[in-house]
Amino acid sequence: MKDGIVYLVGAGPGDPKLITVYGLECIQKADVIAYDRLVNPKLLEFAKKDAELVYCGKLPGKHHLIQDEIHSLLVEKAQEGKIVTRLKGGDPFVFGRGAEEAEILKNHGIAYEIVPGITAGIAAPAYAGIPVTHRDFATSFALVTGHGREEKGQDFLNWPALATGIDTVAFYMSVGNIAYISKKLIENGRKATTPVAVIEWGTTDQQRTITGQLDEIASIIEREGYHNPSMIVVGEVVNVREKIQWFEEQGMAFT
How much is the pLDDT for 135? 95
Q: Which one from 3, 29, 58, 167 is the annotated catalytic residue?
A: 58
How much is the pLDDT for 3? 80
Is 211 in a helix, a strand, or coil?
Answer: strand
- pLDDT-derived band at 57, boundaries 50, 70, 90: confident
State yes or no: is 173 an active-site residue: yes
At 174-191, the pLDDT tens digits run 999 999 999 999 999 999
Of 119, 97, 132, which Cα lies nearest the Cα of 18? 119
- pLDDT-derived band at 253, boundaries 50, 70, 90: very low
What contacts 83, CB < 8 A, 6 or more positions away? 4, 5, 7, 29, 30, 31, 32
Of 6, 250, 3, which Cα lies nearest the Cα of 129? 250
Q: Which one from 3, 29, 167, 173 is the annotated catalytic residue?
A: 173
At 70-88, the pLDDT tens digits run 999 999 999 999 999 999 9
pLDDT at 149 over 50: no
In the chain, the DSSP E strands lie at 5-10, 32-35, 52-55, 58-59, 62-63, 83-88, 111-115, 141-145, 168-172, 195-200, 208-213, 230-234
Section 204-220 average pLDDT: 97
**Cis-peptide into 229, omega within 30 deg:** yes
pLDDT at 169 over 90: yes
Is 131 in a helix, a strand, or coil?
Answer: coil
State yes or no: is 91 an active-site residue: no
How much is the pLDDT for 65? 77
State yes or no: is 36 an active-site residue: yes
CA-based radius of gyration for the chain? 19
At 16-56, the pLDDT tens digits run 999 999 999 999 999 999 999 999 999 999 999 999 999 99
Q: Which one from 36, 77, 88, 231 is the annotated catalytic residue?
A: 36
How much is the pLDDT for 14? 96
Q: How far apart are the first and last CA of the chain?
A: 42
